Amino acid sequence: MKEAKDRFVGITSKDVNSAMFQIKDIEVPEDKVVIDVIKNQFVLDNGRIVEDPVGALSSTVTLTGQVILADRSYVRQLTSIFKKVNIEIDGIIPNVVAQRSLILDVNELNDNVMILDIGAGNTDIGIFSGSTFLYTNTISLGGDNITSDISQVFYISDEEAEKLKRQYALALKSFIDNDTDIMLTTYSGDERNKTIKSSELIEVIEARIEEIFSLVNKQITNLGIKSNINNVILTGQGITSISRSDVAGKIVLNIPVKIATGRMVSTVKPAFRSSYALVNYVANRPYAKNVASKIDIKSNENFMKTLLERIKEFFYT
């Protein structure tokens, strides 16, 4: 493989933190590394708030934004993996940040929303107030856990469990129209032929989905940010194919929940959405045509230098 440079990769929210900052106050822990600085707004000397200060007449410009930190050892490990195939990582981006503009519709972009990206193995949480990025985290549960539950409860193969999950994809047992019989073809128990009711299968699906939403609810409640969330947007292959998952989420979270309807949902296949979102995110950054911000994982990282470089990129490229 030929050497490739200036590559960005997505990262789940695990070991990623965001924080509002003032330069005089910020301290980067030794076990963390800066992976991005997301601007919120620029404030001119007369107090006027602008999206882009270029061309504005002002003696001072104040930038407010979030510093995105990631676990240093995780970044080092990720970088090492890519180097083995001669790919150099230029930047790391939380997936929920990259996906925001593509999975939210026009009204949601200006709202206080929580994105829940429930994939195969993880549930990524991203909370936004309009364009301001407030919080991100990851829960290590997803659609594969539902499959595993079905397999273990009914003593069948993972392949049959996945097939049944897709065939009887319902998040709440109370919405069953016809409680049919299901013949298990890979049953490994003592009985020669095993038949279960579809309600039994859906009860297993419901239990795991309820747990995922309950863990999310616990996080946002403990952080004191639940009251700021007006809507929850669901995305991810681990949940969107399961009918009534939005209803199950509303019951647990007590917040309006809907399946994502943004432009990416209808135009990009689910398997490619994260990659598409990452490319779009980088392409729309002010410095996208002249990327030069290599990940610094040295112990003597100078935060101020990193921040100033990012600000210069915004103004001069």
User: C-alpha dihedral over 245, 250, 255, 259, to 10 degrees?
Assistant: 20
**Token pair listed for 35:** 């992976």
Contact present, 210 and 252 (Cβ < 8 Å): yes
Given CA atoms 5, 10, 13, 18 in this order, what sign does their dihedral have? positive
Q: Are residues 25 and 122 in the same domain?
A: no
Q: Are residues 86 and 187 in the same domain?
A: no
Give the Cα separation of 110 and 227 in Å (integer).
Answer: 17
Q: Residue 18's domain spans which residues? A: 1-92+286-317
Residue 230 lies in a domain: yes
For residue range 54-78, what is the model confidence (pLDDT) as tens digits?
Answer: 788 888 888 777 777 788 888 888 8
Q: Are residues 86 and 142 in the same domain?
A: no
Residue 124 lies in a domain: yes
Q: Are residues 117 and 257 in the same domain?
A: yes
Per-residue confidence (pLDDT) for residue 153, from 0 to 100: 95
> In this model, does residue 304 exceed pLDDT 60?
no
Domain containing residue 153: CATH number:
3.30.420.40
Q: Which residues pair with 89 in a beta bridge?
A: 7
Its pTM stands at 0.75
Residue 280 lies in a domain: no
Query: Cβ of 153: how many Cβ atoms within 10 Å?
Result: 15
In which residue are the tokens 């943004």 written?
262
Q: Are residues 82 and 119 in the same domain?
A: no
For residue range 121-179, what is the model confidence (pLDDT) as tens digits?
Answer: 899 999 998 878 888 888 999 999 999 999 999 999 999 999 999 999 999 999 999 99
Per-residue confidence (pLDDT) for residue 88, from 0 to 100: 81
